[in-house]
Amino acid sequence: MKYFHEKIEAKWQQYWAQNQTFAAKQPCQSEPVEDQQPKYYVLDMFPYPSGAGLHVGHPLGYIASDIVARFKRHKGFNVLHPQGYDSFGLPAEQYAIQTGQHPEKTTRENIARYREQLDKIGFSFDWSREVRTSNPDYYKHTQWIFIQLFNSWYNNDTNKAEDIATLIAIFEKEGNATVNAVCDDNIAPFTAAEWTAFTSEQQQKILLQYRLTYLAETEVNWCPALGTVLANDEIVNGVSERGGHPVIRKKMTQWSMRISAYAERLLQGLETIDWSESIKESQRNWIGKSVGASVSFRVIPSAVEGTTTNNQQPTTIDVFTTRPDTIFGVTFMTLAPEHELVSQITTPEQKAAVEAYVEATAKRSERERMADVKTISGVFTGAFAEHPFTKEPIPVWIGDYVLAGYGTGAVMAVPCGDERDYAFAHFFKGQNGMPEIKNIFNQDISQEAFAAKEGFELVNSDFLNGLGYKEGTKKAIEALEQIGQGKGKTNYRLRDAVFSRQRYWGEPFPVYYVNGLPQMIDPKYLPIVLPEVEKYLPTEDGQPPLGNATDWAWDTVNNKIVSNELVTLSAVEGQSSNGVYPLELNTMPGWAGSSWYWMRYMDAHNDAEFASADALKYWENVDLYIGGSEHATGHLLYSRFWNKFLKDKGFAPTEEPFKKLINQGMILGMSAFVYRSEDSKKLYSKGLISGEKVHPIHVDLSVINDITNELDIDAFKNHPLYTDYKEAEFILENGKYIVGREVEKMSKSKYNVVNPDDICNDYGADTLRLYEMFLGPLEQAKPWNTAGITGVSGFLKKLWRLYFDDNGLVVTNDEPSADMYKSLHKTIKKVTEDIENFSFNTSVSQFMICVNELASMKCNHRAILEPLAVLISPYAPHIAEELWEQLGHQGSVSTVPFPVYEEKYLVESEKEYPVSFNGKMRFTIKLPLDLTVAQIQEIVMADERTIKQLDGRTPNKVIIVPGKVINLVG
């Protein structure tokens, strides 16, 4: 009976689908908690269904999570292992713009392709809980969460988000003087009486300064070619990741999320979760906590050194510094080019240079500016600020190494103590506006700045002279507070997240505008469904694509979407005679739907709420989360923020969404190259390129032999990608053209993508699953080599032959030998430990060793082969199911108890001793381990081989170490 993977895999995939074998059980409300089956929630990062489908690198993490999910079912857990699609986003929209097809259509087609591929690999997903972020029944709840954020503020006294009504109550009772909130800077103080006297519009504008999602003019990454704002993680090397288009910095009124309110909690929460240290460190750096002081420098009004000519309220430049002890070393100041004061303080003489610099800087992304530590550029504004203590004038520059969004967008430059300030001062040394560097350390700074926080005394620092870092910092802050020009402060690099996108294919905001002020639609009328539009590009007057919708206004009387014409006909000074107002034209960013999706899986068909309290209480959060490390400062940060917010509001049961996180490594492609001469008339084989001027050209893997690396020249010439080389001369080695090979990222553009469908068709899904695990540790990058897959395929055939011969099942009920039990239980022990430690590659090796050992012992014993089928089930589920059924069992093997390791089978009862004569081993002898030294000596001396070696001599000494060695001397 042969092993036909095609029939077996199709059979069991159909069985699992028909029987919903992997559907997780929902908790029963009436069942006591102590009687409920223990839960285990394992989740893969949300896939985006691209048109390219899966390549063999994509399933790596899915296979690992599936092994764990299947193992936990065997161990008696109620396993939630769902799957769905992050189906809004820019790629589908760009494709729609190019082809005119609706993004919904292409997304639906892409999802169908993904699902087909995923099913072929045999994942134990609970498909009954599938979610798609672009479905209205899903984004209805995303819109609801947005409304909750809008109706909340962050109370620093209680350290959590609270309903906006509690803030309004404080305003009505005592104004805002005692409010300790995370809010906009420089909010004007008001009393309770003033609050009551404010108009409704004035009150709404003030509340926007406190809300957790708010409208504000923000510096954004604007991509003119794509017509949209991009997040930092959507920009690579200063251009858009999608399409490679230029990106500029631009001010726009945008929705933002006040993630900065959660900075400290996001930082502290890292200590409570089992994530890799590298991911934690990425988040710590992104959050960027700094302890120091805020300092106010007054701008000298006349912009002339040393003069102050009037008594008006002075303009101030506020800075945050981690080194207030160096306040007397301030040599100049630097503003971000986007800083709002730049245009106000720049002198007429410097205006042209400053404006040109600001325009040039706008073309560089913040990420590019942060990464570029070598380029030095800047312009003197012509203005001066006043030192808070010495009252000396300090020149004010602008430079792109200062970012508007970090701190205050201004720095007090202390070149003697900071390398970047030092380089800036030296670069502009001798130019107008750049004084000599002030040295405030008793250290030499002739070659470089002295940046250490110890090993110095302050000099040239007035009342700080003789102090070190700690004492100087404390005294400087006290002095700044006394004169009202500074105070101690903790700062975070983490900035509020821009939440608006000028795109079509995203979640509509549940927002309409009255006199330009945002109003939330009542949640009972959600979802606000994305309208149909003819064009997916921005409108001719620059509005987002939703500006093309003809019916995109909100009727507040009938609570429905109506024609835009009703707005233009009835609006008078922001009010409407028939209650019709314009809806928000922006859509939410791609990370909106993925910031809470794991909770939807807990109760995916609940129409009334995103998940019931019972479901949330039972599932709590994700026990194991697997995905790529590229999401460290995007998705993983945003999802933690939303989870903490929902916890504050009493919806989420836990503070953190993901208990354990594993970042799978990348499966790399093995690219192939031909080598083209400079005139493109010759193509040299790999071994002949030395000394030749050639250019490597990527070759589609379909035209080479993956094992011998030989190019099929005819197939190459007839391939549509290489028609330019039909007349080229092929310079062969030994009659063959051998391509070059190189390990690179698997990508369609490199023609090194391997389709998992091909592997499943040729070798089987179980072979693919085992091979991907066998390639190496899950977290490491490793190259794909199809040639190596034949060994894994052969292993499965060898496993099959333990159970069957040509005539059918050969399994017997005979009692196995001790060695058979030993081989099995050694494998049980190893595989159990490996899965629990997520070390899947060594399990595959152990399976191979075990099958080889059992084959050599001609094992066909049920007591061994039955548990072996269960043991391999998480890794190779199709063959395991078939073996289980052929052994006479009903139903799926997926919930059969996992074999338990018993130590007694690994306890050695015998030892094979090496027997040496004068230190040279001559033969071995197997003896029971419980023999005494005298008994061992008696047996060895009576052995014919010993008698022959001694040849009548009597040894001077017999050395015996029980369980180790036997040595006869003399």
Mean pLDDT of 6-25: 97
Q: Nearest-5° angle of CA 7, CA 51, CA 56?
A: 50
Question: In which band, very low, low, confident or very high, does the pLDDT at 706 lie, cut at 50, 70 and 90?
Answer: confident
End-to-end CA distance of the chain: 61
- CA torsion, ordered 316, 319, 324, 329, to nearest 10 deg: -70
Predicted confidence (pLDDT) per residue in 350-385, tens digit? 999 999 999 988 877 777 777 777 889 999 999 999
Supply φ then ψ for residue 555, to 5 degrees: -90, 105
Token readout for 324 is 């207030």
Per-residue confidence (pLDDT) for residue 478, from 0 to 100? 97
CA atoms within 13 A on the CB side of 542: 4
407-411, 624-628, 678-682, 949-953 — most confident range: 624-628
**CA 509, CA 256: separation in Å to the nearest integer?**
12
Burial grade of 597 (CB within 10 A; 0-12, 13-18, 19 or more): buried
Supply φ then ψ for residue 926, to 5 degrees: -95, 125
Token readout for 176 is 């805002």
Question: In which band, very low, low, confident or very high, does the pLDDT at 99 lie, cut at 50, 70 and 90?
Answer: confident
Cβ proximity of 742 and 671 under 8 Å: yes
Token readout for 886 is 């052929």
Mean pLDDT of 404-420: 90
Per-residue confidence (pLDDT) for residue 535, from 0 to 100? 87
Per-residue confidence (pLDDT) for residue 221, from 0 to 100? 81
Cβ proximity of 485 and 295 under 8 Å: yes
**CA 353, CA 453: separation in Å to the nearest integer?**
37
Mean pLDDT of the chain: 93
The position carrying tokens 């972020």 is: 133
**Least reliable range by pLDDT among 195-199, 243-247, 486-490:** 243-247
Token readout for 742 is 């190189």
Mean pLDDT of 195-223: 92
Q: Helix, strand or coil for residue 192?
A: helix
Per-residue confidence (pLDDT) for residue 822, from 0 to 100? 94
**Least reliable range by pLDDT among 218-227, 395-404, 438-447:** 218-227
Closest to 118 measured CA to CA, from 732, 769, 658, 678: 769
**CA 515, CA 573: separation in Å to the nearest integer?**
7
Per-residue confidence (pLDDT) for residue 307, from 0 to 100? 38
Per-residue confidence (pLDDT) for residue 243, from 0 to 100? 80
Predicted confidence (pLDDT) per residue in 60-86, tens digit? 999 999 999 999 999 999 999 999 999
Q: Is the predicted pLDDT of residue 644 greater than 90, yes or no?
A: yes
**CA 199, CA 795: separation in Å to the nearest integer?**
78
Strands 575-576, 571-572: parallel, antiparallel or unpaired by DSSP? antiparallel
Q: Amino acid letter at 655?
A: E
Q: Which residues of 620-632 are buried (b: 16+ CB within 10 A; e: fewer)?
A: bbbbbbbbebebb
Crossing angle for the helix pair 103-121 and 5-19, nearest 10 degrees? 120
**CA 111, CA 94: separation in Å to the nearest integer?**
17
Cβ proximity of 576 and 570 under 8 Å: yes
Give the H/E segment covering residue 421.
helix 419-427
Q: Is the predicted pLDDT of residue 688 greater than 90, yes or no?
A: yes
Question: In which band, very low, low, confident or very high, does the pLDDT at 233 lie, cut at 50, 70 and 90?
Answer: low
Mean pLDDT of 204-226: 89
User: Which is more confident, 222 or 596?
Assistant: 596
Q: Is the predicted pLDDT of residue 836 greater than 70, yes or no?
A: yes
Predicted confidence (pLDDT) per residue in 158-173, tens digit? 999 999 999 999 999 9
Q: Nearest-5° angle of CA 791, CA 2, CA 803?
A: 85
Q: What residues contact residue 18 under an 8 Å CB cut-off, 6+ apart?
A: none
Per-residue confidence (pLDDT) for residue 451, from 0 to 100? 94
Q: Is the predicted pLDDT of residue 306 greater than 70, yes or no?
A: no
**CA 111, CA 135: separation in Å to the nearest integer?**
13
Closest to 458 measured CA to CA, from 293, 324, 321, 290: 324
Q: Is the predicted pLDDT of residue 785 greater than 90, yes or no?
A: no
Q: Provide the CA 790 distance to its chain's centre, in angstroms.
A: 33
Q: Is the predicted pLDDT of residue 791 greater than 90, yes or no?
A: yes
**Least reliable range by pLDDT among 370-374, 480-484, 559-563:** 370-374
Q: Is the predicted pLDDT of residue 304 greater than 60, yes or no?
A: no
Q: Is the predicted pLDDT of residue 820 greater than 70, yes or no?
A: yes
Q: Helix, strand or coil for residue 852?
A: helix
Cβ proximity of 503 and 544 under 8 Å: yes
